[in-house]
Amino acid sequence: GAVVSQHPSWVICKSGTSVKIECRSLDFQATTMFWYRQFPKQSLMLMATSNEGSKATYEQGVEKDKFLINHASLTLSTLTVTSAHPEDSSFYICSARVGAGQGLGAFFGQGTRLTVV
Amino acid sequence: GESVGLHLPTLSVQEGDNSIINCAYSNSASDYFIWYKQESGKGPQFIIDIRSNMDKRQGQRVTVLLNKTVKHLSLQIAATQPGDSAVYFCAENGAGGGNKLTFGTGTQLKVEL
> How many Cβ atoms sit within 10 Å of the Cβ of residue A93?
25
Q: Any CB–CB contact under 8 A between B83 and chain A?
A: no
Q: Any CB–CB contact under 8 A between B41 and chain A?
A: yes
Which stretches of chain A drop beneath a pLDDT of 50?
A: 102-103
Amino acid at A55: K
Kindly list the residues from chain B whose CB atom is less than 8 angstroms away from the CB atom of residue A95: 43-44, 101
Q: Do A106 and B103 touch (CB under 8 A)?
A: no
CA B32 to chain centre: 13
pLDDT of A2? 77
Q: Are strands A19-25 and A10-13 parallel, antiparallel or unpaired?
A: unpaired
pLDDT of A100? 52
pLDDT of A31? 84
Q: Do B43 and A40 touch (CB under 8 A)?
A: no
Q: What would the pLDDT profile of B55-87 be if each residue is shown by its tens digit?
A: 999 999 999 999 999 999 999 999 999 999 999
Asked if residue A16 lies in contact with residue A6, where contact means CB atoms within 8 angstroms, the answer is no
> How many Cβ atoms sit within 10 Å of the Cβ of residue A89?
16
Q: Any CB–CB contact under 8 A between A25 and chain B?
A: no
Task: Report how far apart, in Å, the C-alpha atoms of A77 and of each of A6, A60, B55 are.
Answer: 10, 20, 35
Q: Report the C-alpha gap between B55 and A73 in whole angstroms.
A: 38
Which stretches of chain B drop beneath a pLDDT of 70?
A: 1-7, 95-98
pLDDT of B26? 83
* Inter-chain Cβ pairs, chain A and chain B, closer than 8 A: 66
CA-based torsion, B19, A41, A116, A30: positive or negative: positive
